[in-house]
Copies of this chain bind each other. A is one copy, B any other.
Amino acid sequence: MVNIGLLGFGTVGQGLAHILNNKSEATPLKDINIKKILVRNLEKERKVKVSKDKLTLNPQEIMEDKEIDIIVEVTGDVDLSYRLVKEALNNKKHVVTANKALVSKHFEELSLLAEENDVYFLYEASVAGGIPILKPLKDQIRVNNISRLRGILNGTCNYILTKMTDEGLDYGQALREAQGLGYAEADPSSDVKGLDTLRKLRILSTLAFGSAIREEDIICHGIDKLLALDIKLLKEREMVIKLIGEVVEVDGGYQAIVQPKAFKDGSYFTMIREAYNTVSIEGDFSGVLNFYGPGAGMYPTANAVLTDIIDCVMNIQDKKNPLGNRKLENKNEDIRGKYYIRISNWKDYEVDLGGVIEEKVFEDDKDFAIITKEVRLSDILNILEGVENLALVNLED
């Protein structure tokens, strides 16, 4: 029997308990026991029942339990979790986590610490929810150089964009609908401003490119300023907007960005709808590989956590630090492309787009929209400095 100490008992933790409760006879799940659960409230009513004596308010009860082999961290917290995960690794307990903020912030340190202690540090559920992507990616990078990685990594944004595209909703309406269905939180800013996508991209790309690509190395534009007008104007050109996280290797370095991007309707990324996610990688030998599945949700995420737990139990991943030690240079300054730009209240600004316009798309008293020639993103950002209400959408070649 392998004993688990669960840190947190929210949606994912309860999903995990539910699966184990309902498959208590299946191999190898029958050998996995949730021994203790760290909670903030012992009395709270929860959907999934566990015996009360498993619950504790005191993390040290779990940390110091010598019978607990694996710490499963499924809180939303970073600071306490960081302390506890470090302590667990130092105590030679395996760690499985679904916490992308934690992994993103301390990826290199925790990966190394796990290797030093010869234990597992696994985080499949931290990226793209239920999609098995990190383990296949680790397999691929043993053979392949990855030249490009990109994905739709945030279900909230993808749900909002799908509704705006299909039903012509404005951003605010689509957001409220997403909140009503539980796809978006009361404060959606980390989703809609791109931070959640950025963290997942940081984890994926640091693995894929064998070089530390940190949060601050990634340009980040969200979807919260997009208007129904932007969706409509691009739809008239048979293009659909998605929030894409993308890293490419370029000569001697990499370019990393989270941004709204418009694809020809019917192409792969436009097929990823509602709260689904996808990750696409291009290896020199593998070719293009795409992975698709639910980006979040109680059971898909708990399922991903559980596959990591099983890998610890069965000892079927490599315990060596999977992060490479290449030092790729950040070349974000050289990012080039064609862009759709819409400026609202454009008469209030003195913006000189004269040299970059390929085509004027729309103009009325309030809004002004263009498609640029191929330009440097940094030049466009300079020109647009100070403009508040705008859309900037990269156009896929």
Contacts and interface: CB of A to CB of B under 8 A. Distances in A.
Interface of A: 15, 19, 23, 26-29, 130-132, 135-136, 139-140, 142-144, 266-268, 271, 283-294, 297, 299-300, 302-303, 306-307, 310-311, 314, 316-318
A127 B167 CA distance: 40
Contacts of A318: 314, 316
Given A143-B307, A287-B297, A291-B292, 6 more contacts: A142-B307, A144-B303, A267-B271, A285-B300, A290-B293, A316-B317
A303 B306 CA distance: 28
B271 A310 contact: no
Contacts of A316: 316-318
For A27, A132, A140, A271, which residue has the most chain B Cβ atoms within 10 angstroms?
A132
A187 B171 CA distance: 56
A28 B142 CA distance: 7
A289 B293 contact: yes
Contacts of A19: 143, 285
Nearest to A289: B293
Contacts of A29: 142-143
A288 B294 contact: yes
Contact of A291 (B135, B143, B285, B291): B291
A289 B139 contact: no
For A284, A285, A317, which residue has the most chain B Cβ atoms within 10 angstroms?
A285
A130 B139 CA distance: 12
Nearest to A298: B285
Contacts of A294: 286-288
Contacts of A142: 26-29, 307, 310
Contacts of A267: 271
A153 to B, nearest CB: 16
B140 A132 contact: yes
9 contacts: A19-B285, A135-B135, A136-B136, A143-B303, A266-B266, A286-B294, A286-B299, A288-B293, A289-B291
A48 to B, nearest CB: 14
Contacts of A317: 316
A293 B109 CA distance: 33
B287 A299 contact: yes
Nearest to A271: B271
For A139, A267, A293, which residue has the most chain B Cβ atoms within 10 angstroms?
A139
A2 to B, nearest CB: 14
